[in-house]
């Protein structure tokens, strides 16, 4: 099958939509109309093929085309291994290494138990840094639910002068203490200096609660419409007062917000989860 005979995937269509938004208004109108007509034709073709399958007609198959599900598994596996190599965690709870170190052996139990691989298979972004752990297992839920308060067991570690500098939370000893807000009882903590910050409040003994801190800053995502398509740009303020414009590969607000969070996690992991995004129309 030649390259021209391979149908465009969703990402390639999105790239075309983004390029259309950059065309002059006179050209964007008719090109956008043409792309919408092509998308309608593709949907109609899919409906016809689905109808044939439902009626028991055998579908034509290309022997040299990889099954879609197997192809997606291959892509997801590549993303999992790339995260393992770049970040140094598997998400299976039984393994931790430095990034770009000797590559480990992986068996079927690692694949079955890896929360990281499960996240990627669900279409979620892989974080560019390891999440906190809870009793040795990756604690992705803590990062993904910014409103839920968690009941935890925790212990505060102090230096020789009595100053708190670290915490052990749910058997994870990689929590930093940023501030002691109430002597011996309440602390602001962050995992390895990356990701959201939390308020840790201790009761009697080692019992306590871990509550996410609300985002402390706001950034704008600009929405622009041309030819019936939307494009989104993140406005990121720099220290010298200039504004960095980050083009987001997104056609919807939800995808734009997700892409902005992914960019933040990669480029400013210490601020991930601490920024809220607001939508604004292009000036």
pLDDT digits (tens, 9 = 90+) for 130-158: 889 999 888 888 987 878 899 999 999 99
275 φ, ψ (degrees, to nearest 5): -120, 130
pLDDT level of residue 93 (50, 70, 90 thresholds): low
No. of H helices and E strands in the chain?
7, 12
Q: What is the pLDDT of residue 283?
A: 67
Q: Is the alpha carbon torsion for 73, 143, 106, 110 positive or negative?
A: negative
Please determine, for residue 105, whether its predicted confidence score (pLDDT) is greater than 80: no
Q: What is the pLDDT of residue 168?
A: 96
Q: Which of 274, 152, 272, 273 is nearest to 209 (CA)?
A: 152
């Amino acid at each position: 099958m030649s390259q021209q005979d391979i149908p465009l995937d969703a990402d390639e269509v999105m790239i075309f939509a983004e390029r259309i938004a950059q065309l002059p208004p006179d050209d964007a109108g008719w090109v956008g109309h043409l792309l919408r007509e092509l998308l309608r034709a593709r949907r109609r073709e899919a409906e016809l093929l689905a109808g044939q399958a439902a009626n028991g007609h055998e579908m034509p198959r290309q022997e040299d085309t990889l099954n879609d599900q197997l192809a997606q598994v291959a892509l997801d596996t590549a993303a999992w291994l790339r995260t393992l190599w770049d970040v140094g965690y598997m998400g299976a709870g039984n393994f931790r290494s430095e990034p770009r170190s000797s590559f480990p052996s992986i068996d079927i139990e690692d694949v079955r138990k890896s929360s990281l691989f499960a996240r990627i298979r669900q279409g979620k972004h892989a974080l560019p840094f390891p999440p906190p752990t809870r009793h040795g297992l990756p604690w992705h839920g803590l990062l993904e639910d910014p409103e839920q308060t968690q009941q935890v067991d925790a212990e505060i570690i102090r230096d020789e002068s009595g100053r708190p500098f670290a915490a052990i939370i749910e058997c994870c000893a990689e929590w930093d203490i940023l501030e002691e807000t109430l002597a011996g009882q309440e602390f602001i903590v962050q995992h390895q200096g990356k990701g959201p910050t939390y308020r840790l409040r201790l009761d009697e003994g080692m019992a306590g609660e871990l509550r996410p801190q609300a985002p402390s800053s706001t950034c704008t995502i600009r929405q622009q419409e041309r030819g019936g398509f939307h494009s989104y740009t993140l406005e990121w303020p720099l220290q010298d007062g200039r504004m960095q414009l980050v083009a987001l590969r997104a056609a919807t607000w939800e995808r734009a917000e997700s892409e902005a969070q992914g960019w933040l996690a990669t480029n400013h992991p210490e601020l991930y989860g601490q920024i809220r995004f607001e939508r604004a129309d292009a000036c």
